[in-house]
Structure 1
Amino acid sequence: MIKLDDYRQVATRGVIDIIGRLAERAQGRRLLNVSGGRFGSGPAESLQRLVPLMSDVGVDASWEITGGDPVFHATGRALQAGLEATERVLTEDALEHFVEMNRLNAKKLRLGADVVLVHDVAPATLVSHRAGDGRWIWRCHFDCSRAHRRAWSFVRSYLNQYDGAVFSLPKFTRRLSIPHYVIHPSIDPLSDKNRDLTPREVSATVAALRVAQDAPLLVQIGPFTRAADPIGVVNAYRLVKKYHHARLVLAGTASDDPESLDVVAQLRDAAHHDPDIVVLDLPPDAHLQINALQRAATIVLHKSVREDFGLGAAEAMWKAKPVVGGFAGGLSQQINPPSPEQPRPHRPHGRGRARARPPIVPGHARADGLSRALDPRHGARPVSDAPERRADAPVGRAGAPVGRADAPVVAAEPAAERPPGPAPARVAPVELPADVEAELARFSPRDLAIGVPTYNNAETIAGVAHAVRAGVSQRLDGVSALIVNADAGSGDGTSAALHEAGLPVVRIAHNAPLAERLSVPFHGIPGRGPALLATLAAAHRVGARALVLLEPDVVSITDDWIERLARPVLDEGADFVAPVYARHRYDGTITRLLMSPLVRALYGRRIRQPLGGQQALSARLVEHLLVHPRWDWRGRDVSDLWILGSAIADGFSVWEAGLGRRDIRHGNRTSDLPAMIAQTLGTAFALMHRHADLWREVVGSEPLPEVGTPSPPSAEPIAVDTTRMIEGFRLGVRDLLPIWEHIMASETLVEILGLDPGDGGRLRFPDDLWARVVYDFALGYHYDVVYREHLLRSFVPLYLGRTAAFVLATERRSAEGTEALLENVGAAFERQKPYLVDRWR
């Protein structure tokens, strides 16, 4: 009997250890699976292996099946077909009989368990007979998003009695009053359907099926239904055969359903007129034969027009076979389109979740894909010459995550296809209101524009105005300036207070999104992107040689801030000036432990305050950003980081300026840590996702030119509640593993589970592990492995653990020693960057 340890030969390193740790938490609890039968379905195939494996690791797992007469089974099939959007007749008598048969099943089955997992439709109504305090979960293995009303209204009344429902993809769900969960299925690489076969076994098994191997084999394995579209495969094959000699094998299991019988009849008629079409009606347990057919195939087809998850594609790729498929159901999770010129292997992130969403295309396009795949210039090869499969290919239903084999993948795409990704849209000339244009024309030209985006900042804006006035008049003698105030709808007189600066003020009102005004982002300005765009446009209109951007709620600003930001641009040739603040060593750990080392590794510049609020830009950088084709200023993402990344990547001169303390008095900014993490880290990940060309080729880092003398961080003792942070980290380890296992690589997750603070609470979080954690979350965001908001918020316990470890490691160190540890963090992010780049596609 197969045991869990047997999967170490195929699973990603560390996965089996994680399963073992999780199994320890399930000791003493009973898990019951209930399905409609033991053979002939996906759930049955999974449970045949999964239940013994769970018992192998000490989990009390069992499996019951429902029974009934032919009417019961026929009604169950009709219900499932109706839920899968196929029209079926469902009479009241048949439904009442279905419910009554499951009432009898409930009396015969042992339904008492801590968790009862009910699979698909046949046993679904058993929930009305639940006993005890156990949790009942409905596991839906198919797409019910387009269910017919009659079938859905009947089933929904029972499904709402469950404690939760599990689906294979988010798009497979329907609205229910219970929590939804998503668990992607996976193949079993050690089953008869996927285990290694010798060439002799392959040849003997295929010969026993009476399939000649004297021509390239095109093989489709699937049900004989219109959803699987075997008729469409025949039509595509006929087009291909005009140019390539090939043999088509259509293998599946015929049912007594009228639709299936009609499809089989049409296929047999096609085979009667073409001896190179082979139709094989296989029994449900013909796993070895399916394995041999896929291994003997030159190309495996999966041309479904309606599909559930469609693991047949993953099974073929596990065997290193080229796959031509549609994009119905879960196929879009498994098949990525190559360029029209060359089918190519796809090497996604370790969990195999890169996704493509091209449209379903007609048969002639699939014929084109087949022709290109059969062309020897494009690399389609027989099984004896197939590439070796990878260790991170799809792993079994036993519990390891889904991956993909390193096989050439041919997408069913038209020959003329647009390039991947969104089409770039050049920023159009920014239109400003007529009154604003008139004001700017009246004040032109100006040497310096000072941009102050605001939103209800009357309490603090006067101090900013006084600092601007003194800075320009006393430190920038002879420099003409004006203030550009992009206001998001202040109702407290903020804009009027800016006139105290004694400089011309041009106010640009913009309508910030209601959602951002109700829940103001961490930087305090709703609609900051459009505000910055309008400010850049205004600075460009007046011909400003420099633009200084200031925060409206900073109360520690002094007149020398204006000079230190503007002077390098006006006189020294700088294009971008970032701030450096004098801070306590435990202040701003999001920046110091996360954002700064991440930006350093991505862009190759050691910027200490990548989201510093205050900044200065040259006229040429302003003009460059206004016509840049790669950024949408209307999004929620923080545009400041994009400005910085573009300045570095496009060869502009980036400097830093020491400004002293930065004290913020905010009435708008969020102080909710998960929200701050989601907004700051989400911004960085969004930029990495959209603009990988800015950072993937960067190696190493270098310091920046400085203005002023940055102060070392204060080491004054302050009380930091590391116990509470560590407890937050422990709670995350306890509660968030189901999310983390989708995000983090197995090796990383094993190390996280091994971080034990011990009785003394001395948590140690290695720098290289921290860098890999951040990179895994970036990859998870890129491949959209879970809902992105959930991904970002699930990062918080890890951040708390890393911060606690930093505080504990530095509490007895000097300021210089603290800086040395922070330098080590940045160096670790650089060392681990190949880990990120190798997995980014």
Structure 2
Amino acid sequence: MIINEVSAPPALTAFARLIGPERTVRLRRAAEEIRERLAGGTLWHVNSTPAGGGVAEMLQTLLPVYTELGVRARWAVIGGTDEFFRITKRLGVALYGSDDGPLGAREHAAYLRSLSTDAAELLGMIGPRDIVVLHDHQTAGLAPRIADRTATTLWRCHVGVDEPTPASELGWDFIGPLLDGVRSLVFSVDRHVPARFSDRSVHVLPPFISPFGYKNAELGMDTVRACLDHCGLGAQDATAPPAVRTPLGPVRLRSAPTVHREGTRRAGAPLVTQISRWDRLKDMGGVLDAFTGHVPQGHLALVGPDPAAIADDTEQRFWYADCVRRWQDLTPAQRARVTLVALPMADLAENALLVNGLQRSSDVVVQKSLAEGFGLTVAEAMWKRRVVVGSAVGGIRAQITDGVDGFLLSDPADLAGLGALLNTAIGSEVDGISIGARAHQRVHTDFLADREVTTTAAMLTQERMATS
């Protein structure tokens, strides 16, 4: 287990200007309620990776906000063997509704055995006034060891499936009993709460974006073009400068992405982009097939992290290689309209900036997930006023109002349907500026960090009232 220290420049003043005085008053009042509930203790967040994925990105934003608000907060990251992460990957797929391999007694024993060291280390750091938030299935096995040693232990689930399946029920059989001592359960999407928890204290709290971080800050056009050039997507075969300007200071573009392309993107061609993990459920291969089979114009960029860089996801290499193979099997004319980009992860600021620049360069951002917990890449693109096309699953459906602030694909397996939506989205009949403006406002209203703090305060107040 490591303690992930987060340092960030003060941002509360700028955030207060963004959300306005009424929301700022509610935010400060909520922070005061959390401090009173802690009574000198610490608010802990525990997850499985210090970088990569929505949970890590949220915590990198949230902890500095709590610090500026006077709330003592810390972030612990569990370790794990390769076997542990293979099991938790399989478990995550099950909770998304698909069968990815056995989850029996042997796997359960190995899962708990791997977490025993983390549990012992965490017990040496927490105290009876502390509040611990355990994130996702990787940490659920800590709950039986720590729940009676804290003021409150919450378990937060960022994954799920809209309709139960035999595989998802098996996944909940695996971790459900481990959560018996947890005071409250927190889900990102109300449809993902299993019926088995109907008698439990359950809250719904969507994730949030950071509007001032490298991934979402406003960028000048020179910086956006440099990001595009660095990823091999410039209209010409240009070379990006060694450093670019951002509102947070200069960022060096020192790590070269791995790029699969044939020639250069045609000048003026609409850019359609999906940025996500190389994961079966993100269905990058399906996006490639839909675009090359049904969209006669534009250029597609499939962008994900270096597949070897995310410790808690051991299958990214396979799905990345699958996309590369599919790309290689295309005709030369098709390959010329598709670029695959694996972004470096060594410098998180550089990685986030490249994602920002690529989203801002895109005419349409896609998230064709087969299942989705929430899908923060959707909110990120909406914040940048992009036209977003996403599958009507999980949290994507909770973010996009079809035809108002984006477009929803009713059947995520419908490649022709995705092609039709993409043709509509990049066509002249769509007012992308108006859709983008409404998308930005939706994120401003519902998916910023003050909602996290105010909802956390409300949950803790409700718990105190229920136990008093």
CA distance in 1, matches of 2:438, 2:185: 38
Q: Does 1:58 align with 2:66?
A: no
What does the per-residue CA deviation read over 1:705-739, in whole Å, with 9 as the maximum and x for residues that have no partner?
Answer: xxxxxxxxxxxxxxxxxxxxxxxxxxxxx999849
Q: TM-score, normalised by structure 1?
A: 0.43
Task: Give 1:363 shift.
Answer: 2.0
What does the per-residue CA deviation read over 1:333-360, in whole Å, with 9 as the maximum and x for residues that have no partner?
Answer: 222222xxxxx658xxxxxxxx989565
Partner residue of 2:264?
Answer: none
What does the per-residue CA deviation read over 1:51-73, in whole Å, with 9 as the maximum and x for residues that have no partner?
Answer: 12112111111111212332223
Q: Does 1:399 align with 2:449?
A: yes
- Contact 1:305-1:360 within 8 A present in 2 as well: yes
Task: Give 1:263 shift.
Answer: 3.0
DSSP-derived class of the 2:285 partner: helix
Q: Pick closer, same or farther for the CA change 1:271–1:279 going to 2, 3 Å.
A: farther
Q: Does 1:304 align with 2:369?
A: yes
Partner residue of 2:398?
Answer: 333
Task: Give 1:157 shift.
Answer: 1.1
**Of the candidates 261, 268, 274, which is equivalent to residue 220 of structure 1?**
274
Within-5 A mapping of 1:589-604: none
Partner residue of 1:320?
Answer: 385
CA distance in 2, matches of 1:389, 1:172: 24
- Contact 1:11-1:391 within 8 A present in 2 as well: no
Q: Pick closer, same or farther for the CA change 1:365–1:150 going to 2, 3 Å.
A: closer
The residue identity in structure 2 corresponding to 1:39 is: A
Partner residue of 1:378?
Answer: 430
Q: Pick closer, same or farther for the CA change 1:189–1:19 going to 2, 3 Å.
A: same
- Contact 2:160-2:372 within 8 A present in 1 as well: yes
CA distance in 1, matches of 2:104, 2:234: 47
The residue identity in structure 2 corresponding to 1:7 is: F
Partner residue of 1:232?
Answer: 286
What does the per-residue CA deviation read over 1:366-398, in whole Å, with 9 as the maximum and x for residues that have no partner?
Answer: 2222222222243347x9x97698666436976
Task: Give 1:400 shift.
Answer: 2.7
**Of the candidates 162, 168, 178, which is equivalent to residue 200 of structure 2?**
178
**Which deviates more from structure 2 when the two are superposed, residues 359-368 or residues 198-207?**
359-368
DSSP-derived class of the 1:337 partner: coil
Task: Give 1:330 shift.
Answer: 1.3
The residue identity in structure 2 corresponding to 1:5 is: T
- Contact 1:333-1:356 within 8 A present in 2 as well: no
Task: Give 1:262 shift.
Answer: 5.0
Stretches of structure 1 lacking an aligned partner (at least 5 in a row)? 339-343, 347-354, 403-733, 740-841
Partner residue of 1:544?
Answer: none
Stretches of structure 2 lacking an aligned partner (at least 5 in a row)? 1-8, 236-266, 309-313, 460-468
CA distance in 1, matches of 2:70, 2:108: 39
Task: Give 1:162 shift.
Answer: 0.9
The residue identity in structure 1 corresponding to 2:158 is: H
CA distance in 2, matches of 1:320, 1:7: 19
Q: Does 1:247 align with 2:299?
A: yes
- Contact 1:188-1:396 within 8 A present in 2 as well: no
Task: Give 1:158 shift.
Answer: 0.3
CA distance in 2, matches of 1:91, 1:188: 39
What does the per-residue CA deviation read over 1:556-582, in whole Å, with 9 as the maximum and x for residues that have no partner?
Answer: xxxxxxxxxxxxxxxxxxxxxxxxxxx
What does the per-residue CA deviation read over 1:507-538, in whole Å, with 9 as the maximum and x for residues that have no partner?
Answer: xxxxxxxxxxxxxxxxxxxxxxxxxxxxxxxx
Task: Give 1:288 shift.
Answer: 0.9
**Of the candidates 191, 199, 224, which is equivalent to residue 202 of structure 1?**
224
Partner residue of 2:126?
Answer: 111
Partner residue of 1:24?
Answer: 32
Task: Give 1:101 shift.
Answer: 2.6
DSSP-derived class of the 2:43 partner: strand
DSSP-derived class of the 1:34 partner: strand
**Which deviates more from structure 2 when the two are superposed, residues 152-161 or residues 80-89?**
80-89
Q: Does 1:153 align with 2:173?
A: yes
The residue identity in structure 2 corresponding to 1:106 is: A
**Of the candidates 120, 138, 142, which is equivalent to residue 122 of structure 1?**
138
Partner residue of 2:323?
Answer: 264
DSSP-derived class of the 1:142 partner: coil
Q: Pick closer, same or farther for the CA change 1:205–1:736 going to 2, 3 Å.
A: closer
Task: Give 1:45 shift.
Answer: 1.2
**Of the candidates 140, 159, 163, which is equivalent to residue 183 of structure 2?**
163
What does the per-residue CA deviation read over 1:662-705, in whole Å, with 9 as the maximum and x for residues that have no partner?
Answer: xxxxxxxxxxxxxxxxxxxxxxxxxxxxxxxxxxxxxxxxxxxx
Q: Does 1:369 align with 2:421?
A: yes
Partner residue of 2:156?
Answer: 139
The residue identity in structure 2 corresponding to 1:21 is: R
DSSP-derived class of the 1:123 partner: helix
Partner residue of 2:45?
Answer: 33
Task: Give 1:247 shift.
Answer: 0.8
DSSP-derived class of the 2:19 partner: coil
Q: Pick closer, same or farther for the CA change 1:166–1:736 going to 2, 3 Å.
A: closer
- Contact 2:279-2:319 within 8 A present in 1 as well: yes
Partner residue of 1:507?
Answer: none
Task: Give 1:320 shift.
Answer: 1.0
Structure label with greater radius of gyration: 1
Q: Does 1:192 align with 2:205?
A: no
Partner residue of 1:729?
Answer: none
Task: Give 1:361 shift.
Answer: 6.9
- Contact 2:391-2:410 within 8 A present in 1 as well: no
Whose RCO is larger (CA < 8 A, sep 6+)? 2
Aligned pair count?
391
What does the per-residue CA deviation read over 1:84-134, in whole Å, with 9 as the maximum and x for residues that have no partner?
Answer: 223223353443232123222122122324321000122211112124351
Identical aligned pairs, as a percentage? 25
CA distance in 2, matches of 1:228, 1:307: 8
Q: Pick closer, same or farther for the CA change 1:299–1:84 going to 2, 3 Å.
A: same
The residue identity in structure 2 corresponding to 1:92 is: A
Q: Pick closer, same or farther for the CA change 1:34–1:737 going to 2, 3 Å.
A: closer
Q: Pick closer, same or farther for the CA change 1:97–1:281 going to 2, 3 Å.
A: same
The residue identity in structure 2 corresponding to 1:8 is: A
CA distance in 2, matches of 1:233, 1:307: 15
Partner residue of 1:529?
Answer: none
- Contact 2:374-2:395 within 8 A present in 1 as well: yes
The residue identity in structure 2 corresponding to 1:45 is: E
CA distance in 1, matches of 2:417, 2:327: 25
Task: Give 1:225 shift.
Answer: 2.6
CA distance in 2, matches of 1:278, 1:82: 31
CA distance in 1, matches of 2:418, 2:110: 45
CA distance in 2, matches of 1:171, 1:3: 34
The residue identity in structure 2 corresponding to 1:40 is: G
DSSP-derived class of the 1:190 partner: coil
